[in-house]
Structure 1
Amino acid sequence: MIILGINYIYHDSTACVVKDGKLIASLEEERLNREKHTYAFPKQAIARCLEIAGLTAEEIDHIAISFRPDLERPRKIAYALKLGWKTRAFSSKELGFALFATRAFRLWFDATFTKDRKPEVHFVPHHLSHAAGSFFVSPYESAALLSLDGWGEWATTFKGVGRGTTVECFAQDLFPYSLGAVYEVPTDFCGFRTSYDEGKTMGLAPLGNPDTFSGIVEKIFWVNEDMSIGVDLSYFDFQHYGPRCSKKFYETFGQARQKTRDARFEQHHLDVAAAFQKQLEECVLKIARQLRERTQEDYLVISGGVTLNSVANGRLVRESGFEDLYVMPAAGDNGTAIGAAYYLYNSILGQPRTYVHDDPYVGTGYGNGTIQKLLEECKLEHRYLPDGQLEAVTARLLQSGQIVGWFQGRMEIGPRALGNRSILANPTLPDMKDKINAEVKHREAFRPFAPSCPVEDTPQYFEQHVADPFMLKVCRVRPEKQAVIPAVTHVDGTARLQTVHRETNPRFHRLLKEFEKLTGVPVLLNTSFNVMGEPIVESPQDAIRCFFSTGLDYLVLGNYVVGKQPGMLPDVPGVRAFATSRSPPISLDREAAGDPVPLPVAGDQPCLLRDRETVGRS
């Protein structure tokens, strides 16, 4: 059974292919069209996923779309009438978006499939795709479920429980009672882009004093005893599809920061970010505790754009009462393509659960043959290093303070670089954070960077008792280690940790252990391989372009090392650089040169529960 999952109604358009219950491939459209958080229909992502899977469109049996158009229209019309808007005007202005989006799918569908062979199309509600879909690929047989975002169709939350292949919804909040929509307001106030830069607001918050405005913010949005969200709408205008902040908001908190890169942050901007971040954490934590009390479940599955707030997730791990939580690597709207596919497979079609989504490397892979051909076409000096030697040489570069673009294996799904499309650096150097922000990423100086650490070494450096392979749970760096890894320790002593597992990423794990041999520290600074405003690089061409337009020192593509100037390749005894007209003295891998290569999907891996137990025993 072949299922094509699609998200395209909202931002982060994505496609995936599920074959007989196993996720074969998933890819965001932005990685191919190079438009960050794109709304475009994911035609390229669909084609690439089918290519990776070795399938044609005619072999698709079902299509699952993470949106229900019939839920959108009546609720929006009712809301328009409530606000006193003319239904006709509202219908043409706002409902036109949903109609246009469904038309984009229809045009692709009619052009792709013949009359004789058309797959069955299923429209899955947005929050079922988030919550239920995430549960069905989690390692838990039963769990409490929580989805939080701006809105999808008309709902803004999903609160319920999943057991086996059944899901029960306790309650949902409806727009404008939305934690996601509320959090966009301080994002806008601080001069960032909404539905785009909320992570910057989270990163800015530790620089402010939450107590300055916490008394006011606690009365602006809250959680009631029945788990419903309360919002004082007098502070906002987003409910009218206008500016985020009302006049009352500015009268209360002051003037907004200008939306220019060099605009100054005043203290009240920092304090607003801190207060809204603190209250968001309290609201999410209260809902989780209420779910724990009602369901008596040991585990929590969370999803939706709000759950990309890794600081709040860290507090859930420590304070909610759940033993652990599962967050899909693509927890935002991009993950609803996967969620819709699995809701269809497990719930609608009634198939048993057989897959755990603990391996995020489900995109395109490029073999050494493809990489060598491209390097020769670009006339770049390069050196081929065999496995083992490659990691040892790269570790030596990192130890010496070089910043390395690291391009390996299959593309990660989700917003975090997890060791296959990463920029890596030495976290023990105090000035490394500022250097990468200024010279490589070209972004705001306050933005922090994340550490990657082998899961078995995590307890030595971080106060974390659970695994975090997707870099979505902020934890505290142990006090005695904060000065050891200053480049990845935030101002409040925390870090957004990635635990690296030998089973899912053996090469990245080897690199960390080689770095430990040289420095005594099994931790690397890991940030996404891109510059601010661009998607993470997807292809070797993207990587080379980013390499030569930033302050990166070296580029490691597969088994090849590339420098920027002739003669700057690292000295390796017994191995020499070779010109583009020569062939490497070491044989290449078996993959053909004309790919992208559809790499085989890894076999069953240890689930997160076992990883969590491993950390706990260490």
Structure 2
Amino acid sequence: MNCSSYKFSILKVKERLMYTLGISAYYHDSAAALLKDDKIIAAAQEERFTRIKHDAAFPIKAVNYCLEEAEISLSQIDSIVYYENPTLKLSRIISNHIKNVFKGFFLYMDTFPQYLLQKHFIKRNVTKILGKEAAAKLTFLHHHTSHLASAFYPSPFEDAAIITMDGVGEIETTTIAHGEGSNIQIKKTLEFPDSVGLLYSVFTVFCGFKVNSGEYKLMGLAPYGQPKYKDLIQDKLVKIFADGSIKLNMEYFNFCHEPRMFGEKLEKLIGIPARTSESPLTQEYADIASSIQDVTEIIVLKIAQYAKTMTNSKNLCLAGGVALNCVANGRLLKESGFDKIWIQPASGDAGTALGAALHHVYSCKPRTVERENTDSMQGSYLGPQFSDENIEKALIKLDLSFTKLKPDTLIEQTASLLKNDKVIGWFQGRMEFGPRALGNRSIIGNAQSPNLQKQMNLKIKFRESFRPFAPSVLEEDVEHYFQLQCPSPYMLLVATVNQDRCLNDGISPNIESDIHQVRSDIPAVTHVDYTARVQSVSKKTNPKYHALISKFKSITDSAVIINTSFNIRGEPIVCTPEDAIKCFKLTHMDALAIGNYLVLKEQNPSNKEEIDEYINSFEKD
């Protein structure tokens, strides 16, 4: 449906609202999002339904969920918007292969046919999966425009600078824009192969982690090291200009012509071989992580400061994979010159499904922000929810002993378990959209416990012991614990723990020494550099989670708990009651608070063989 017909429909049939479906697919984190006029009805990643981490397949299950949530059929959708332009992307791929024809012949022969068959003929795929009627409603948007829209339109700002930074879209790797009302005007772009996202991914792989999955591990590893390679990176690998644009020295990078992102030349420059996955982490790799994190922060800060001068706006909106670097975001908050920052909680490619739909709507109608200091993401709780009836059926089917409680009693008993250092699966309300669990699909614990960080990493998440956990803190108490003067509802800002709460300040972080040193009075969520990735919890957006932490505070005098995603390593965050029950049964969690039901591990013991089988059923991320 084109814009003129959209306007005509609103004028003639005012009582009928318009449904817009946004889709992202075929690279990683496929997703669907549905709008009813300009209201977000539903949004979800395909991985949550298929149980395949970062699933890139066409998001048919996510589409079906969105339709079910809205209680409509596919035929009632007015417009379907795909998050990027496959023809432009194909043009970039062909151009890149021509430039690297001798180096990249085998990569070309491997990837080009696959691209044509699956990723280019999107309309054909939509026809095959959703039908001819749906394909007739399909339009395409640019990748970075989808990111920009996802960042600006749900924000609480009438006016803002907008920055998108990722690996690469069609050809753009960084885009600066200015948003005013319904209009987004692109001011400047940086093009492939010069990409801060790809630069960070190269070092993610160098340190033994996976692209599009391990970048947050690299960020978590960085504080254990010293930026000893920072000057080398800036001297030899990347030239950084005053406006934040960069020029990569492609002599050291292979991602234009090989499946591997780098070769021996980079290893010789760094002076050590790339780490193999799952091998021991030595101090050199922590130093490399620290170095590339510092360089990335320099680039991101320069881009933001330049965007400030270009737009003269007081507000900044962020999206794209680099916007998930919450350490860099924390620096932007303090040093970029913007008064306020808003970051799309689904900043990666999943969020482009939402951005594509929003851009289509606001290209046809005015946008008025009536939500002072409140965005339109609904806390990012946009996924499926389940009734107590559904939950009880799943508990019975999976043969668990359980107790049904009144809501207040469930909160009281859960808070008491937390006080006693029990680890609890917390499954409530609508599933979160984006990579973070925000208190509806979470594993929670007592942040005051000196032992839980290690216990939860090794016995519940089954992941690397160096990785930190995030705190959930009552929004009204944030400043009592952290050097943060604004809400952080989406766990996308890193802040320093207040000095009066710190212990042993001055300990030099070292990946090869005791990483479980107690550093504050909330040790389970205090990283080695005395920082934390903060989630502020609002009574308005999540009253049940807020009530739980409030009850915990009343019996412990602490307004902070541990919050990590409800899954194990390599597994997508749980979606259904069945997913949650399975994860609970086959880990060492002590309890499961699911809906109004409380399940205790002591009444439902785990079987070691089943646990091992469960852990091994997911590929390590």
For this structure pair, what is the TM-score category when the shorter chain's length is used for normalisation? 0.7 to 0.9
Paired letter, 2:551: E
- Tell me, in whole angstroms, the C-alpha distance in 2 between the residues paired with 1:105 and 1:411: 30
Quickly say closer, same or farther: Cα 1:383–1:243, change in 2 above 3 A.
same
Match of 2:431 among 382, 405, 411: 411
Quickly say closer, same or farther: Cα 1:428–1:87, change in 2 above 3 A.
closer
Match of 1:517 among 524, 548, 554: 554
1:352 aligned to 2:370?
no
How many residues are treated as equivalent by the alignment?
564
Report the secondary structure of 2:431's partner residue. strand
- Tell me, in whole angstroms, the C-alpha distance in 2 between the residues paired with 1:567 and 1:15: 36
Shift of 1:246: 2.8
2:243–2:302: 8 Å Cα contact kept in structure 1?
Answer: no
Counterparts of 1:426-441 in structure 2 under 5 Å? 426-441=446-461
- Tell me, in whole angstroms, the C-alpha distance in 2 between the residues paired with 1:536 and 1:327: 21
Quickly say closer, same or farther: Cα 1:439–1:278, change in 2 above 3 A.
same
Partner of 1:496: 533
Partner of 1:113: 131
Match of 1:232 among 249, 254, 266: 249
Partner of 1:539: 576
Quickly say closer, same or farther: Cα 1:119–1:510, change in 2 above 3 A.
farther
Paired letter, 1:28: Q
Shift of 1:565: 3.2
- Tell me, in whole angstroms, the C-alpha distance in 1 between the residues paired with 2:314 and 2:58: 39
Partner of 2:71: 54
Quickly say closer, same or farther: Cα 1:111–1:179, change in 2 above 3 A.
closer
Partner of 1:10: 27
2:86–2:122: 8 Å Cα contact kept in structure 1?
Answer: no
TM-score by length of 2: 0.88
Counterparts of 1:47-196 in structure 2 under 5 Å? 47-85=64-102, 93-99=110-116, 100-103=118-121, 106-113=124-131, 119-196=136-213
Report the secondary structure of 1:468's partner residue. coil
Paired letter, 2:534: L
Deviations for 1:199-239, whole angstroms, at most 9, x for unmatched residues?
000000000111x1111112222431344222122222122
1:63–1:120: 8 Å Cα contact kept in structure 2?
Answer: yes
Report the secondary structure of 2:573's partner residue. coil
1:227–1:290: 8 Å Cα contact kept in structure 2?
Answer: yes
Match of 1:323 among 335, 339, 343: 339
Deviations for 1:242-272, whole angstroms, at most 9, x for unmatched residues?
32223221112233354342x1112211111
Quickly say closer, same or farther: Cα 1:290–1:110, change in 2 above 3 A.
same
* RMSD of aligned residue pairs (Cα, Å): 1.9
- Tell me, in whole angstroms, the C-alpha distance in 2 between the residues paired with 1:87 and 1:452: 47
- Tell me, in whole angstroms, the C-alpha distance in 2 between the residues paired with 1:537 and 1:377: 18
Partner of 2:330: 314
Quickly say closer, same or farther: Cα 1:106–1:226, change in 2 above 3 A.
same
Shift of 1:534: 0.6
Report the secondary structure of 2:411's partner residue. helix
Paired letter, 1:545: K
Counterparts of 1:463-502 in structure 2 under 5 Å? 463-482=483-502, 483-502=520-539
Match of 2:233 among 207, 217, 242: 217
TM-score by length of 1: 0.88
Report the secondary structure of 1:411's partner residue. coil
Report the secondary structure of 1:143's partner residue. strand
Quickly say closer, same or farther: Cα 1:275–1:170, change in 2 above 3 A.
same
Deviations for 1:159-209, whole angstroms, at most 9, x for unmatched residues?
121111111112211111001111111111111111211000000000011
- Tell me, in whole angstroms, the C-alpha distance in 1 between the residues paired with 2:368 and 2:57: 31
- Tell me, in whole angstroms, the C-alpha distance in 2 between the residues paired with 1:421 and 1:222: 42
Partner of 2:14: none
Shift of 1:90: 7.4
Report the secondary structure of 1:131's partner residue. helix
Shift of 1:92: 5.6
Quickly say closer, same or farther: Cα 1:408–1:222, change in 2 above 3 A.
farther
1:425 aligned to 2:445?
yes
Shift of 1:487: 0.5
- Tell me, in whole angstroms, the C-alpha distance in 1 between the residues paired with 2:114 and 2:167: 16
- Tell me, in whole angstroms, the C-alpha distance in 1 between the residues paired with 2:259 and 2:126: 32
Paired letter, 1:172: T
Report the secondary structure of 1:452's partner residue. strand
1:275 aligned to 2:312?
no
Paired letter, 1:555: L
Report the secondary structure of 1:463's partner residue. coil
Paired letter, 1:425: G
Report the secondary structure of 1:238's partner residue. coil
Partner of 1:343: 359
Report the secondary structure of 1:240's partner residue. coil
1:15–1:26: 8 Å Cα contact kept in structure 2?
Answer: yes
1:450–1:525: 8 Å Cα contact kept in structure 2?
Answer: yes
Deviations for 1:124-176, whole angstroms, at most 9, x for unmatched residues?
11000001332111111010111000011121111121111111112211111
Deviations for 1:560-586, whole angstroms, at most 9, x for unmatched residues?
000123399xxxxxxxxxxxxxxxxxx
2:107–2:259: 8 Å Cα contact kept in structure 1?
Answer: no
2:104–2:258: 8 Å Cα contact kept in structure 1?
Answer: no
- Tell me, in whole angstroms, the C-alpha distance in 1 between the residues paired with 2:498 and 2:103: 58
**Which stretches in structure 2 are left out of the alignment for 5+ residues?**
1-17, 370-374, 503-519, 606-621
2:123–2:138: 8 Å Cα contact kept in structure 1?
Answer: no
Of the structure 1 ranges 217-226 and 443-452, higher mean CA displacement relative to structure 2 is found in 217-226
- Tell me, in whole angstroms, the C-alpha distance in 1 between the residues paired with 2:293 and 2:122: 37
Partner of 1:530: 567
Shift of 1:97: 4.2
1:345–1:351: 8 Å Cα contact kept in structure 2?
Answer: no
Quickly say closer, same or farther: Cα 1:402–1:521, change in 2 above 3 A.
same
